[in-house]
Chain A
């Protein structure tokens, strides 16, 4: 079946502009995660959605970052007034997360964001 998809695959933007990144999770997966990977670094947790619960925003690096999810479907990550340090690959993952037996996160291909 279809995996997690993300769009766009690449985005180049000028400093100060807003960008919106999209994630389509695997159908039926209630949990959705956003991670960021800056060059030469590991993946950094940003935000997590689970069903109708309030999202865990503890990883968002600043108030310029926000994310939404419509029900158990599409999620968008918005970065306002982009800065050069926002340049990174943004990865989305989804999981059925029914408990320890359904733990695996399935990752999308990522969006490579370059802020010039």
Chain B
């Protein structure tokens, strides 16, 4: 079955602290994984994709096929990082539809 699991509904950290948002997936094929972010009163937007291996706004995510994980990390959280974060698995051979996790709300306190 195709599934994405984000075990934490809410993650609260202080500004400057490291942050890790967990994501695990279940998929028999070769996974294409994404992190989408939704800031308050804004649209859902792409944050990063595993294959590009880039850092966006200081965030990185490494695909670990052995652990079937794609955790999102940032060494020093900022208040403007507060948002809802969704991990998503793209099913490429089904039109690119996305299977989303339930989301993690990140709250960065001053």
Q: How far is the CA of A110 from the CA of B49 in the complex (A)?
A: 23
Residue-by-residue, is A44-55 near B (CB-CB < 8 Å gives 1, otherwise 0)? 110010100000
One of B46, B92, B102 near A104 (C-beta < 8 A): B46
Number of A-B contacts (CB under 8 A): 59
When distances are taken between beta carbons in the complex, the residues of chain A under 8 Å from B99 are 45
Q: Are B49 and A103 in contact (CB under 8 A)?
A: yes
Q: Does B56 contact A (CB under 8 A)?
A: no
Q: Chain A interface residue count: which class?
A: 20 to 34
Q: Are B95 and A42 in contact (CB under 8 A)?
A: no
- Mark B residues whose CB is within 8 Å of A: 4, 6, 32, 43-46, 49, 51, 86, 88, 90, 92, 94-103
- Mark A residues whose CB is within 8 Å of B: 3, 31, 33, 35, 40-45, 48, 50, 56, 58-59, 91, 93, 95, 97, 100, 103-110
